[in-house]
Structure 1
Amino acid sequence: MSATYSSTATGSYTVTDIGIVVRQFTTDLKMIASSTRAMTEKEASEYGADVELLAAKSYLKAVDITQMFGGKEVRAVKYHVDQNTGALKSSRPGGVRWPELLGSSIRIVMSHTDSFNEAALQSLRGRLNISWGFTSIDTSHSSLTSSGGRDYASNGWGLRREDWS
């Protein structure tokens, strides 16, 4: 399957570009899984595959990953989709070796575009690894402090990562 998307400002990207960028995202998620031991690397790969599918369908707006411990946020990263990456310089994955806290968990919340609805979700059932649902969880991370970020990009598609600790 091949698809091309265009942006009037900087150029175009393909689903291959999305895959390149999502592999960097998945590498970050595997590092989080490995360091916290709150998720397996296999689960991280499954989340990464779902992110790639939703991004390729133009349904993805952002992905928020938060380490929770005792009902409180410990660390977080949020990846914002950027379809006009002329200003983004791609970084290497990393900087997400989070603490191993016995009993902590990883919460992953995807924000979607307006074109994603219950019918779109149902059409993807059987292709998604994770049983996704709709939520109104606050991902503003008001209890944490912003601590930098990284950018991942390929041609006209990218993810801008914001970090909190």
Structure 2
Amino acid sequence: MTGSYTRTASGTFTITDARYVGGRVGADLRQLYNLYGKPTLDSIEDYAEEIAILLNRGFLDTVDYGFRDTATNTWKLRLRYKATVGGQLTDSRPGSFPDPVDLTGHAFYSFLTYSSAFSLLTSSEKTGLNLPFSRTTGTAPSALAGTTTAGHGYARNGTGVARDIYVAH
């Protein structure tokens, strides 16, 4: 038996597509919760919705989730998601984390970088996005000596996020 399959991309990335991608990131965060007890389950839903809203509108650059040393502002374990359009997009299964890491004394933290398009919005347009929570400004934690593993990502309809995981030595 022979057959063929043709798929045509519509070129439209909808909020439903963005929520699919956000849901995959949420699954990674639930895995963090299962391994390390953080982030809280309630906050995971908010993080996933934040990604969906920003990705759908083209306002997400990167977002990091992980555990940092608050005294030195350095990552011990970090999941970074970089917004990606077109190119070599993958839609992987959530998870596939490195072996568990000792995070004693490290606090859960998230750091988001907006795209340049976000800076063009007025303050009322930013408020109108209805993000699930407000972020404060801060300094991104450093990733000093460690290992970064890339090659994982989540995408739908031509847009998504590429994930890398950093683990400090």
TM-score range, shorter chain: 0.7 to 0.9
**Partner SS, residue 77 of structure 1:** strand
Sequence identity percentage: 22
Alpha-carbon displacement from aligned partner over 1:58-85 (angstroms, at most 9, x marks no partner):
211111112124644211111111111x
**Structure 1 pair 158/135, CA: closer, same or farther in 2 (3 Å)?**
same
**Structure 1 pair 161/61, CA: closer, same or farther in 2 (3 Å)?**
same
- Aligned partner of 1:101 in structure 2 is 103
- Aligned partner of 1:160 in structure 2 is 162
The letter for the 2-side match of 1:151 is: G
TM-score by length of 1: 0.78
**CA shift for structure 1 position 112:** 0.7
Distance 1:113 1:94 in 2: 26
Distance 2:13 2:128 in 1: 24
**Structure 1 pair 95/152, CA: closer, same or farther in 2 (3 Å)?**
same
**CA shift for structure 1 position 154:** 0.9
- Aligned partner of 1:61 in structure 2 is 61
User: What are the within-5 Å matches in structure 2 for residues 101-120 of structure 1?
Assistant: 101-117=103-119, 119=123, 120=125
**Structure 1 pair 158/147, CA: closer, same or farther in 2 (3 Å)?**
same
Distance 1:70 1:111 in 2: 19
User: Which structure 2 segments of 5+ residues have no match?
Assistant: 1-9
Asked if the contact 1:59–1:115 (Cα under 8 Å) also holds between the matched residues in 2, the reply is yes
Q: How many aligned residue pairs are there? A: 152
User: Which structure 1 segments of 5+ residues have no match?
Assistant: 1-9
Over the aligned positions, Cα root-mean-square deviation in angstroms equals 2.4
- Aligned partner of 2:36 in structure 1 is 36
**Structure 1 pair 123/134, CA: closer, same or farther in 2 (3 Å)?**
farther
Whichever of the two has the greater Rg, that structure is 2
Distance 1:67 1:152 in 2: 22
Asked if the contact 1:35–1:99 (Cα under 8 Å) also holds between the matched residues in 2, the reply is no
**Partner SS, residue 13 of structure 1:** coil
User: What are the within-5 Å matches in structure 2 for residues 4-19 of structure 1?
Assistant: 11-19=11-19
Query: After the TM superposition, which of the residue ranges 155-164 and 50-59 deviates more from structure 2?
Result: 50-59
**Partner SS, residue 50 of structure 1:** helix
TM-score by length of 2: 0.76
**Partner SS, residue 25 of structure 2:** helix
Distance 1:158 1:134 in 2: 25
1:92 matched to 2:97? The reply is no
